[in-house]
């Protein structure tokens, strides 16, 4: 994977995580999704926290993106985990760079 491709994927992970966790979305689709997960999630699970935490969501999205990139660019299987961690870390760094205040 080339550096530019990695950067584009990392920014896409950041944007998707931001949309799912913080924004209402078109037709309030993300807001409704968060509400649905909060209502339907078992009490002992942390699914409601996972869908509202940008850091958690960036890791979940990064796993999907890294797995997809594995098939697009024919990378080694062990690189899926490394790319997922790196994409999530870059998304978190973007969040810290572009937002103010507490986590």
Q: How do residues 1-43 score in pLDDT, each as one tens digit?
A: 789 999 999 999 999 999 999 999 899 999 999 889 888 888 7
| Residues contacting 25, CB < 8 A, separation 6+ | 19, 31
Which tokens hold the place of 94? 């973007």
**Tokens at residue 78, please?**
């062990």
Please give the model's pTM, rounded to 2 decimal places.
Answer: 0.85
pLDDT digits (tens, 9 = 90+) for 45-58: 888 778 888 999 99
């Amino acid at each position: 994977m080339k550096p530019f491709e990695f950067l584009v994927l990392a920014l896409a992970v950041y944007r998707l995580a931001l949309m799912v966790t913080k924004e209402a979305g078109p037709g309030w689709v993300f807001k409704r999704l968060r509400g649905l997960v909060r209502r339907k999630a078992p009490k002992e699970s942390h699914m409601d926290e996972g869908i509202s935490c940008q850091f958690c969501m960036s890791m979940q999205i990064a796993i999907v993106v890294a797995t997809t990139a594995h098939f697009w660019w024919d990378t080694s299987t062990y690189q899926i985990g490394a790319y997922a961690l790196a994409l999530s870390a870059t998304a978190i760094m973007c969040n810290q760079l572009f937002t103010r205040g507490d986590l």
